Amino acid sequence: MRSWWGWGNEEDALSGVELDTLIRRASAALPGVVFTGHQPPAVADLDLAPPRVSPPAALAALCSTTPLDRASHTHGKALRDVLRNLHGELADAPDVVARPRDERDLVDLLDWCTTAGHAVIPYGGGSSVVGGIEPRVTGYPAVVTVDLGRLNQVLEVDPTSRAANIQAGVYGPHLEEQLRPHGLTLRHFPQSFEFSTVGGWLATRAGGHFATLATHIDDLVESMRVLTPVGVSESRRLPGSGAGPSPDRLFLGSEGILGVITQAWLRLRPRPRWRVGTSVHFADYTAAVSATRTIAQSGLYPSNCRLLDAGEAYLNAGVSVGGGVLVLGFESADHPVDEPMRQAVEVARDHGGTVPDPPQRGSDDAVRAWRASFLRMPYQRDALARHGMLVDTFETACTWDRFGDLHAAITETANRAIRSVAGVGLLTCRFTHVYPDGPAPYYGVYAPGRWGGMIAQWDEIKAAVSETINAHGATITHHHAVGRDHRPWYDRQRPDPFAMALTAAKRALDPAGVLNPGVLLPQG
């Protein structure tokens, strides 16, 4: 049973020993803080505004106005979303949730909303952490959330070219189930993999499993099919093309403001047969960063190359170390990977790293502990939020030459904001992806909150850090997307001529301005 208010499935929420251990660890990290549990309200107790519209009879079978559907499609999965749900604050619930069965249904829904002027929120898995699927719009007679979950099939597999035509509404696990009999995999595993969809990955330019090379879903796109209010855009299947600006690039990362992605041909790969993993411990963080940069620039291209600072290593891998832990992994479908691992470990040792255990087929204990924690992090976040703790993240990317100054500035700004709003707290950092020219640092905040005031506390921290990111020329988001929450800083990051071009594209493809208003561009 999907949780309407928080992450994932209700039955997978933290409880028992796991919850007790988490609270005990948080108490040890923040001595003196009292963690009091709070329960989410029942859907029946929510004070939702009545729907402002009823769907036409021809579309009624596709539409729902039940409180559960409307509540579960109101917010994404960021901390501020979870907190508003816990407090029963759902002022922007959609009026209607529509579930098209095919493209014909989707065309009919778009025609209805365009003619009537209803805002349309394209919805995949609802895992947005930036307000990307939230009906936070004004000036529309109604809001219709279009849930693409029924468009969930792999339509065709081309084993010769190693590609598949995939519908946008398929969730990660179901996609891999359909590819497994062919011996192929998309191998795109964002942290939200279990509860996010192909269409959502494309619309937000999601970051996936690989820490190097094919880091974003962009790298896996062969062609896309998008339904817009003025017609269908479908690019040719090609391994590459120099024929003008890429049509796919217009819709990748467009977050539903230009059209609704319905399917895409995506590049696949054989399922890996060889894997080896290890962790490298460092006493000094600067040396750990230097080792990571050298590996990223070595041409070895590990599948996993994630540097955890000391706080991240302790909280999420249970490892006490002074400088950090580098999680390394290599995998291949056609050859052993022991030699590239040996070379990467040698580089790390040259920078002062130590390897507690030799590389293992699969991964070592620290790697397994971190991976297990990585998949449980959203559930842990929800559990801590219910106990009055601020737990959320922000991420960015920069070039290697700027990382030292950026990291110092973010650390200073975040810690100052944490002290201002909470008194005490922790800031952690890990690299989610690394490139030859720079890392993608991902920060975690852990601080006590004031029940009833936690959203304002987090917003103050988030705004302060976002200003620092912008001031240092880094990106406001590496893979979380823009949504409504990052808009103020995205507006300043985006070049003005490009803003003009995007605005013109929006007017041409969505003349009525009904598609996801307020995301990427101002309403109107």
Domain ranges (residues) in the chain? 10-147
Say how many CA atoms lie within 13 Å of 205 toward its Cβ: 15
Query: 168 near 103, Cβ under 8 Å?
Result: no
Phi first, then psi: give them for residue 228, nearest 5 degrees. Answer: -115, 165
Q: Beta 143-147 vs 119-123: how paired, if at all?
A: parallel
State the pLDDT at residue 292.
98
Q: Name the nearest CA neighbour of 262 among 290, 226, 235.
A: 226
Phi first, then psi: give them for residue 289, nearest 5 degrees. Answer: -65, -40
Query: 199 near 168, Cβ under 8 Å?
Result: yes
Q: Name the nearest CA neighbour of 251 among 226, 220, 279.
A: 226
Q: Which CATH number describes the domain made up of 10-147?
A: 3.30.43.10
**Burial group, residue 39, by CB count within 10 angstroms (0-12, 13-18, 19+):** exposed
Phi first, then psi: give them for residue 373, nearest 5 degrees. Answer: -65, -40
Q: Which residues pair with 448 in a beta bridge?
A: 389
Distance of CA 128 to the CA centre of its chain: 6
**Identity of the amino acid at 445:** V
Q: Give residues with Cβ within 8 angstroms of 403, minimum separation 6.
A: 289, 438, 439, 441
Query: 86 near 5, Cβ under 8 Å?
Result: yes
Distance CA 455, CA 176 (A): 37
Distance CA 10, CA 388 (A): 19
Distance CA 103, CA 100 (A): 7
- Based on its alpha-carbon atoms, the radius of gyration of the chain, rounded to whole angstroms, reads 23
**Phi-psi group of 395: left, alpha or beta (phi > 0 → left; psi -120 to 50 → alpha; rest → beta):** beta
Distance CA 70, CA 467 (A): 34
Question: Residues of 75-90 as b/e, b for ≥16 C-beta within 10 angstroms?
Answer: bbbbbbbbbbbbbbeb
The CA-to-CA distance between both ends of the chain, in Å, stands at 38
Distance CA 284, CA 310 (A): 9
State the pLDDT at residue 366.
61
Q: Beta 274-282 vs 304-308: how paired, if at all?
A: unpaired
Residue identified by tokens 């703790």 is 389
Count of other CB atoms within 10 angstroms of residue 439: 29
Query: 220 near 266, Cβ under 8 Å?
Result: yes
- What is the chain's pLDDT, residue by residue, as a tens digit (524 residues)? 899 999 999 999 999 998 998 888 888 878 888 889 999 999 999 999 999 999 999 999 999 999 999 999 999 999 999 999 999 999 999 999 999 999 999 999 999 999 999 999 999 999 999 999 999 999 999 999 999 999 999 999 999 999 999 999 999 999 999 999 999 999 999 999 999 999 999 999 999 989 999 999 999 999 999 999 999 999 999 999 999 999 999 999 999 999 999 999 999 999 999 999 999 999 999 999 999 999 999 999 999 999 999 999 988 778 899 999 999 999 999 999 999 999 999 999 999 999 987 877 766 566 666 667 777 889 999 999 999 999 999 999 999 999 999 999 999 999 999 999 999 999 999 999 999 999 999 999 999 999 999 999 999 999 999 999 999 999 999 999 999 999 999 999 999 999 999 999 999 999 999 999 999 999 87
Q: Which residues pair with 303 in a beta bridge?
A: none
Distance CA 104, CA 510 (A): 18
Q: Name the nearest CA neighbour of 481 among 261, 200, 274.
A: 200
Q: Which residues pair with 431 in a beta bridge?
A: 441
Q: Name the nearest CA neighbour of 254 among 168, 178, 332.
A: 168
Phi first, then psi: give them for residue 154, nearest 5 degrees. Answer: -85, 110
pTM, entire model: 0.96
Distance CA 298, CA 313 (A): 25
Q: For residue 143, give both structure tokens.
A: 């809001």
CA distances from 509 to 244, 258, 291, 441, 516 (A): 19, 6, 47, 35, 13
State the pLDDT at residue 314.
87
Q: Give residues with Cβ within 8 angstroms of 61, minimum separation 6.
A: none
C-alpha dihedral, 238 to 241 to 246 to 252, nearest 10°: 40
**Phi-psi group of 231: left, alpha or beta (phi > 0 → left; psi -120 to 50 → alpha; rest → beta):** left
